[in-house]
Amino acid sequence: MRDLAGGFGYLLAGQRWVLRHGRWLGFGLLPGLVSLVLYAGALIGLGYGADDLTAWATPFADDWSSPWLGLFRGFLTALVFCLGLFLAVITFTAVTLLVGQPFYESLSEQVDRTEGGEVPESGLTLAQELWISARDSLRILGRVLLFGILLFALGFVPVIGQTVVPVLGFCVSGFFLAQELTSVALMRRRVQLTEQLALLRRRRMLALGFGVPLVLSFLVPLVAVFLMPGAVAGATLMVRDLVGDDAEQADEQEQGQSQDQGQTQAQTQGQSQGGRPQGQAQAAGKRLSA
């Protein structure tokens, strides 16, 4: 529970940071506005075409009597739209980060700069950063699609499909949303995608506390656009602590291993030193008895 509250605390801290630095709030709104227009058009098109899609996909139900035909296809239409909305929430951040890579990169650097300490730089060109961002986003999208198909299938299970599945959907969305946002700061620290996922899995509740409230707020039109700059700032603040904690744990493990090795060497030396006189005494005893 403390990690859940901590993740939400980073989200609030990021929003406070951009409010204190108003210029960066306006700077970070531009990519979100562009993405919002694209996604709004796509969702409107899906809303108008979802019923035609379900009718095309279920020709076997054409001869069903009323009201079963309407209920069945209406349920499928709602599921298709929910799946589209689920994918939109997940991919919105990835597309917005891709569109606004230079904007959010600068914002994340400014957060590191104002918070003190080292300001990491990836050393990559803009083209390389865009390529890595697009490649990683596609890899994440593949994972999300697998979860989405599984949750879509579980949606047909009575009771579970209407209670447990939506909760799992929000958790999956929140985790991968947190990954997308932290990737801006982690990529500058040259942390690869597999390491990013491993880092967040170790602090899964922290990632959910950060990502799930964002997913819920992103369901409200226009909110995603205004929260994105603060979300990037909050993700950077979270990364600063996560990477610092990992470094401290690694140092402690190395120190513990070195101490264990030192103790093992000392015991080995003690045994070897203690064994030599005993062996010599036994040899002397044998010569006297002879």
pLDDT at 227 over 60: yes
pLDDT at 274: 52
Do 241 and 7 meet the contact criterion of CB atoms below 8 Å apart? no
Ranges of beta strands (E only) in the chain are none
Both structure tokens of 64: 């069903």
Distances in Å between the Cα of 230 and the Cα atoms of 18, 190, 236 are 6, 22, 10
Which of the four pLDDT bands, split at 50, 70 and 90, describes residue 286?
A: very low
pLDDT at 268: 55
Higher pLDDT, residue 2 or 246: 2
Average pLDDT of the segment spanning 91-109: 84
pLDDT at 10 over 90: yes
pLDDT at 245: 62
pLDDT at 266: 54
Higher pLDDT, residue 268 or 169: 169
Do 28 and 104 meet the contact criterion of CB atoms below 8 Å apart? yes
Query: Amino acid identity of 104?
Result: Y
Higher pLDDT, residue 51 or 267: 51
At 280, phi and psi to the nearest 5?
A: -65, -40
Do 242 and 185 meet the contact criterion of CB atoms below 8 Å apart? no
pLDDT at 281: 44
pLDDT at 258 over 90: no
pLDDT at 121: 80
Cβ neighbours of residue 228 closer than 8 Å, sequence gap 6 or more:
28, 29, 31, 32, 93, 96
At 62, phi and psi to the nearest 5?
A: -60, -30
Question: How confident is the model over 121-180, as pLDDT tens digits?
Answer: 877 787 888 888 888 888 888 888 888 888 878 877 887 877 888 888 889 989 998 998
Buried b / exposed e along 205-225 (16+ C-beta atoms within 10 A) = ebbbbbbbbbbeebeeeeebb
Task: Give the integer Cα–Cα distance in Å for 152 and 165.
Answer: 8
pLDDT at 197 over 60: yes
pLDDT at 290 over 50: no
Looking at every residue in the chain, the average pLDDT score rounds to 80
pLDDT at 285: 47
Question: How confident is the model over 27-71, as pLDDT tens digits?
Answer: 888 888 888 888 888 888 888 887 778 888 777 877 777 787 778
Give 256's Cβ-side CA count (13 Å radius): 6
Which of the four pLDDT bands, split at 50, 70 and 90, describes residue 221?
A: low
Task: Give the integer Cα–Cα distance in Å for 219 and 94.
Answer: 16
pLDDT at 76: 81
Task: Give the integer Cα–Cα distance in Å for 89 and 155.
Answer: 18
Both structure tokens of 163: 């209670």
Give 234's Cβ-side CA count (13 Å radius): 28
Enumerate the domain spans of the chain: 2-245
Which of the four pLDDT bands, split at 50, 70 and 90, describes residue 280?
A: very low
